[in-house]
Amino acid sequence: MKNFSYDFYKESADYILEQISEKPKIAIILGSALGSIADLVENKTIVSYRDVPKLLQSTAPSHKGEFIFGRLSDQPVMLMSGRFHHYEGYSYEELAQPVRIMKLLGVETLIITNAAGAVNLDYEVGDVMLIEDQIKIAGHSPMRGPNIEEFGPRFFDCTYIYTPKLLKLAQAKAKELNYDNSVHTGVYYFCPGPNFETPAEIKAIRILGGDAVGMSTVTEALTAAHCEMDVLGISMITNMAAGIEDEEQSGLHVIDVGNKAASKIADLIMEVLKDI
């Protein structure tokens, strides 16, 4: 297992700091088909992943592979357009990299978005789920290996991995936007992918308490918790999970639905940013 050091992450962060004029306070990780949020950023500076020392490279479809710095709702932000997944061949330890870089850049609040499949039978395609908790049974923790004290303690609490005050704020904003009938609060279940889950697995996930299922987010949220960052998680429901409807699961379908429904999440994020 490769050992990572504080200086490993600092080299990446120092390069980025040379490229930007303002440190971000808030970071947003853009899920599949949610890259259109980047179009709303003002005073934009783009830093390609290819240019950042030591940084992983994104290979997932519809993930551009760039950091975007600027302002949203007059807040200094950075957007991660293109995330990294375990199914791309990266270890869980490597997946801690982007959030640790964000921490060194000055980020205090992390908004994580994703495309997810509905496990909860009350959800519909195009709905949004605000994440109140997560389940990760598969795989190691991204904090496996020697602890880096500059980021956080060896053992850290995950009772409120998704910050309650941010969840309440997002719920209130959804109501103000008249989205409350299509915005739910639930539990995100992590599966490593890249295959979609089987119908039997979806039944098991429902029994275990999962409301939506996806292949990202949990390692990022765990790393943010270790770094003592506030976290808001938002899932776009792009498909009903396997076995719920008589249709095959398709990555292209996920992206297509996400493109059509992304404006709802964009509206919600813009409103939330006003009160952080």
Could you report the per-residue pLDDT of 171-205, keeping only the tens digit for each?
A: 999 999 999 899 999 999 999 999 999 999 999 99
Contact 30, 113 (CB under 8 A): yes
DSSP SS3 for 237 = strand
pLDDT in tens, 83-106: 999 999 999 999 999 999 999 999
What integer pLDDT is reported at residue 139 of this predicted model? 86
In the chain, % of residues over pLDDT 70: 91
pLDDT per residue as tens digits for the range 120-175: 999 999 999 999 999 999 889 999 999 999 999 999 999 999 999 999 999 999 99
Please say if 115 is a catalytic residue.
yes
Mean pLDDT for 109-117 is 96
Q: How far apart are CA 11 and CA 87, in angstroms?
A: 26
Selecting among 13, 102, 115, 236, the annotated active-site residue is: 115
CATH 1.20.1270.10 fits 6-273, yes or no: no
Predicted structure pTM score: 0.94
Active-site annotation holds for 229: no
Of 58, 114, 120, 216, catalytic: 216
- In the residue annotation, 188 being an active-site residue is answered as no
HEC secondary structure over 19-30: HCCCCCCEEEEE
Query: Could you confirm whether 253 is annotated as catalytic?
Result: yes
Q: Which residue among 11, 147, 253, 259 is the active-site one?
A: 253
- Could you say which of 63, 86, 184, 226 is catalytic? 63
